[in-house]
Amino acid sequence: MTWSLAVVPAGLLLPESVLQSESFAILAAFVAVNTVMYAALAIGKIVPMVHLADYLPGRRRRGETRSIYPDAVTPEHPNAVSEQV
C-alpha cells in the first residue's frame, strides 16, 4: 500500500502579487490602526473613571448651610448646635 502525498496549500488564500501590492499595504495599515483604537477604547471602558475634583478642595463647598434646618449637625458643620424640642 503506497500513499501519495499531495501538496495542499494551506493558509495562503491570495496570490503573492496581491499581498505585496500597495493597496493591500494600505488596507493592512488601516486595520492595524483600527485595532489599536478599539483596544484603547475597550481599556478606557474597563478602567474606572477618576474625578480629580473629588480629591481636591474647591469652591463647590458652601460657606454656610442652606438647609431648612440651619442649625443641624452636618459633615460640613460638625460643631453646630442642634436644638431638638
Nearest CA to 76 out of 40, 41, 66 is that of 66
Contacts of 57 (CB under 8 A, 6+ apart): none
**pLDDT on residue 65:** 73
Q: What are the per-10-residue average pLDDT scores of the chain (85 residues)?
A: 65 82 96 98 93 78 76 73 56
**pLDDT on residue 21:** 95
Q: Alpha-carbon distance 36 to 30, whole Å?
A: 10
**Is the pTM value of this prediction over 0.85?**
no
**In the block, which residue shows the cell 458652601?**
62
Q: Taking the CB of residue 80, how many other CB atoms lie within 10 A of it?
A: 14
- Give the 3-state secondary structure of residue 32: helix
Contacts of 64 (CB under 8 A, 6+ apart): 70
